[in-house]
Amino acid sequence: MTALTLALPRPFLSFLESIGTMEMMLVAVIGLLLFGGKGLPEMARTFGKLIREFKKASANVEDEVKRVMNEEPAPLRPAPIRKPVHLPAAALPEPAPPAAPVAPPPIEPNNP
């Protein structure tokens, strides 16, 4: 079983075991009445193409998953080391003078 195959429970398709010959013939007659003698083979052809395309797409996805799983990861490259930039002393900004201390506002007495 592949990684993409789903394991369906047995009761999922159990209704197909009870379909007999008469039921199959009844389905065929109803299909013939609904779609006609020319439409039924055309529908069967279209259904076959659909199934074929679905199988091809699922095989492509499965192959891609297998390829990615077997692919070795690319080696990690270290980040390039950058050389420090030396600026001349004239290009450096002058330090700001220290800020003067700020006095708190005076407290006014309460006068009634």
Exposure pattern of 80-96 as b/e (b: 16+ CB <10 Å)? eeeeeeeeeeeeeeeee
Rg of the chain in Å (alpha carbons): 40
Residue-level pLDDT at 55: 93
pLDDT, tens digit, for every residue of 36-58? 888 888 888 898 999 999 999 99
pTM for the model:
0.40
pLDDT of residue 105: 79
Q: Domain ranges for the chain, please list them.
A: 36-73
